[in-house]
Amino acid sequence: MNPMLNIAIRAARKAGNVIAKSYERRDDLQTVTKGINDFVTNVDKAAEAAIIETIRASYPDHTIITEESGALEGKDKEIQWVIDPLDGTTNFIKGFPHFSVSIAIRVKGRTEVGVVYDPINNELFTGVRGEGAKLNDLRLRVTEKRDLQGTILATGFPFKQPKLMPAQFAMMTSLAESAADFRRTGSAALDLCYVAAGRVDAYFEMGVKAWDIAAGELIAREAGALVCDFAGGHNYLKEGNVVVSSPRVVKEILTKIQPHFNQI
């Protein structure tokens, strides 16, 4: 096994244990508002600390970029661990059992390893560049849909940027002409992994952060998905707008959503 993958899995499971134990005792939850509809809890911070401790024990010189602490620069700036310790914090706060730990490892600007762990269902999604993607020990392959007709589409609402909501609903209205249904579950990392696993046929979202999607997008790509931004390019980690599906479905989704995105 790739040695960095091994450490990433160890870190994700340790954070997952922190989250799962706290989920059973949410009376002790301490929540702080970071921004519009944006929350952080003491559990996010404890899970992040567990991840950082695990990484530092094996790779003390690597740079770590986290949602809560920002960039923790190490001597080696070419290797970056991009972490979301609890993707789906709002679900966690409400007791909705759908959230995950997301850890990506980027080397010289390219994502090499992705790990997404769902501690409630004990589902570990992993991907290594050029080596495929797995759910636990099962090899993943994206659903090879030939067109948008009858697809199940996952999305997330830009609730932290309310001004984008009209465009979101316009896109969904256009897509609904062909799609069978939508799913909006509250964890971008798991949405990407669910595309990889064929549980949904596609995923699109505006305004996500790199730590939300860096691990999941590699897993989806390694399962055969095409990942792009709303212009069909590769700036999704920087811009935060992402479309993921089989190549033919991505093309149709872009055709449907671009007119509404360009009006923003």
Weakest mean pLDDT among 57-71, 94-108, 122-136, 191-205: 57-71
Which numeric CATH code is attached to 152-261?
A: 3.40.190.80
Distance (Å, whole) CA 191 – CA 198: 10
- In tens, the pLDDT along 198-243 reads 999 999 999 999 999 999 999 999 999 999 999 999 999 999 999 9
Which amino acid, residue 188? Answer: A
Q: Which residue ranges make up the annotated binding site for Mg(2+)?
A: 67, 84, 86-87, 212
Query: Is residue 26's pLDDT more than 70?
Result: yes
Taking the domains of the chain in order of start, what are their residue ranges? 3-139, 152-261
Judged by DSSP in three states, 109 sits in coil
**Count of H helices and E strands in the chain?**
8, 15
CA atoms within 13 A on the CB side of 225: 33
Distance (Å, whole) CA 168 – CA 206: 8
Q: Which residue ranges make up the annotated binding site?
A: 67, 84, 86-87, 212
Joined together, the tokens standing for residue 249 give 């479905």
Query: Is residue 35's pLDDT more than 90?
Result: no
In terms of DSSP H, where are the helices of the chain?
3-23, 42-58, 89-94, 165-175, 188-196, 210-222, 236-239, 247-261
Please state the φ and ψ torsions of residue 6, each to the nearest 5 degrees.
Answer: -60, -45
Chain CA centroid to CA 105, Å:
13
Fold of 3-139: Fructose-1,6-Bisphosphatase; Chain A, domain 1 (3.30.540)
Give the residue, 97 or 42, on which the prediction is more confident. 97
Joined together, the tokens standing for residue 58 give 């094996």
CA distances from 159 to 38, 91, 137 (A): 9, 14, 35
The per-residue pLDDT of the chain, averaged, comes to 93
